[in-house]
A and B are shown apart, each in its own frame.
Chain A
Amino acid sequence: MGKRTIIPFGPQHPVLPEPVHLDLVIEDEKVVEAIPSIGFIHRGLEKLVEKKEYTEMVYVIERICGICSFGHGWGYCGAVENAMGIQIPERAEAMRTIWHELSRLHSHLLWLGLLADGFGFDSLFMHCWRIRETILDILEETTGGRVIFSVCKVGGIRKDVDNDYLKGIVEKLHAIEDDIRSLTTVFMNDTSVKNRLCGVGVLSKEEALDLCTVGPMARASGIELDMRVGTPSYQKLGFEPIVRTEGDCYARCAVRIGEIFQSIELIEKAVEEMPDGPIEVAVKGNVEGEATFRLEQPRGGAFYYAKGFEKGTKFLERMRVRTPTNMNIPAMTKMLQGCDLADVPMIVLTIDPCISCTER
């Protein structure tokens, strides 16, 4: 056994798009322990509820994270709507579902690209991001923004999209489906890619349960956990979670790839069953009770809590978000124990870390 050495990893590191710092205690080439330290992106935005009115707060919450910004907006609005007892129109709900699935598509393609970059397959990275631009174009045409949309508001949505246009979106998605399929076959079947992914960073079902993993991480370890199962708008579309049992990097990749195609199907169904009607309800008064809301973000289940003052004011008393990456970090440190130093980037990447969500 060699001497123990500590290698700092991050906060600025080529494979990390975001700053997180890990102290890797290594013995020869094996990692014995990984100690994460965070706080590089902490902004303290939950405290802004004291300064921003509850209707303005949507803009702040959307900027928790630019990748899953739509979901955050939805989650916050959902929590406030629950607290105020507002029922939003069906069309608004369906439109939110479509936008949310579009952001899942762009998030997963983005992640596939980063993963490819992580194992040094640069052209694959470029192709993933090339396809992702189509999705961003759709988002831009329907919402006006590429990464921050601000279309969700308390009581509904801000913009409507006509039905013919929605059908056009489905066509566009079908047009890129083959492209995506040919890319994902590389991830799934290429020998050198499989060498990097198979059997790396295995997390058993028991460990995954113990460490409270969420999202694709949990589903890759055989836990059937997906917040979309209990969401009415997804139930209508006949949603079934995608589950794998191997628990390694390959399984996590496979789950996300499965979800890409699933999202396209979900969008197609949602467009077919799109109800007509208004897209918003009038919102009056202040938030008085408290309420919660759950949502499946691309990275896993997220949880939102909003509480108003007893004597209503325009401000909330407390707002809290529990984000998925936060829940997956303990599992990441667990997987890093005993892995090869060269596999560290793969393991860190396959939890799909979103540090700005984690630290807020």
Chain B
Amino acid sequence: MSYITKSPWIIHYDGSSCNGCDIEVLACLTPMYDVERFGIINTGNPKHADVFLVTGSVNEQNKNVVKQIYEQMPEPKVVVAVGICANNGGIFKECYNIQGGVDTVIPVDCYVPGCAARPEAIIDGVVKGLGILAEKREKLRQEQLAAKSGAKAAPQAMPVLDDPAEAKEEEA
């Protein structure tokens, strides 16, 4: 848990879920489970979000919405699929309008099982996701540093403002 030094914001989108998992996601944010104590806030704006929680499977109509939200989120980002529907279609797998799990349209980092997924499991999933987020952040930083030192003529990559102190050092 020591890697929760930042305050990760989540965005939640309901694919074609039955609502069961959605209300459990919301329950995580409310006093009983209260993930806000870790600084986790639910935002409606994809550009503010670090973690993408998807409940429910994807279909023809909503797959573009899921893709768009994912693409709008800034790097690094983590996708957590909540509930068995989001994992692989679950009980609705055989329905004619279900394409399958969320991983058929966007890469998923963390799968939370359950129908409905319990709030404890969702929190677990998000915390796992945060670990992955930290790794991705580090990797991105390395890549950008390499790009910076490697090609001087190339357009300069944006400094990663992870650690303001470090960024200043680099500038100096």
Contact = CB atoms under 8 A, between A and B. Distances in A.
- A, B in one complex: yes
B94 interface: yes
Interface stretch (A38-46, A197-205, A288-296): A38-46
B32 A148 contact: no
B32 A42 contact: no
Contacts of A59: 91
B19 A43 contact: no
A66 interface: yes
B22 interface: yes
B14 A66 contact: no
B92 A45 contact: yes
Nearest to A15: B44
Interface in A138-157: 145-148
B99 to A, nearest CB: 11
A63 interface: yes
B59 A42 contact: yes
A148 B19 CA distance: 10
B32 A130 contact: yes
Nearest to A114: B26
B40 interface: no
Given A11-B62, A146-B116, A43 B95 contact: yes
B24 A40 contact: no
Main secondary structure of the interface of A (DSSP, over half): loop
A238 interface: no
B23 A110 contact: yes
Interface string A1-21: 000000000011110011100
Contact of A356 (B19, B24, B30, B97): B19
Nearest to B30: A129
A114 B14 CA distance: 16
A126 interface: yes
Given A14-B44, A18-B14, A41-B16, A66 B94 contact: no
Most A CB contacts (10 A, CB to CB) among B20, B32, B43, B69 go to: B20
B9 interface: no
Interface in B45-81: 45-46, 56-57, 59, 61-62, 65, 69
A48 interface: yes
Given A19-B62, A130-B32, A146-B118, A65 B91 contact: no
Contacts of A110: 23
Given A45-B92, A48-B94, A67-B23, A130 B14 contact: no
Interface residues of B, number: 38
Given A47-B96, A48-B95, A12 B115 contact: no
B59 A66 contact: no
Contacts of B155: none
Contacts of A40: 16, 59, 61-62, 65
A160 interface: no
A220 B120 CA distance: 38
B150 interface: no
A67 B31 contact: no
A51 interface: yes
A167 B45 CA distance: 46
A356 B74 CA distance: 30
B65 A147 contact: no
A43 B14 contact: no
A40 B58 CA distance: 9
Given A133-B32, A146-B118, A12 B22 contact: no
Interface in B4-32: 13-24, 26-27, 30-32
A42 to B, nearest CB: 5
Interface of A: 11-14, 17-19, 39-45, 47-48, 51, 59-60, 63-67, 69, 110, 113, 125-127, 129-130, 133, 136, 145-148, 354, 356
Q: Which 9 A-B pairs have CB atoms at the shortest separation, nearest pair first?
A: A66-B20, A14-B44, A129-B30, A66-B19, A130-B31, A41-B16, A133-B32, A63-B18, A147-B20
11 contacts: A11-B62, A12-B46, A18-B22, A65-B19, A66-B20, A67-B20, A110-B23, A136-B27, A145-B116, A147-B116, A356-B19
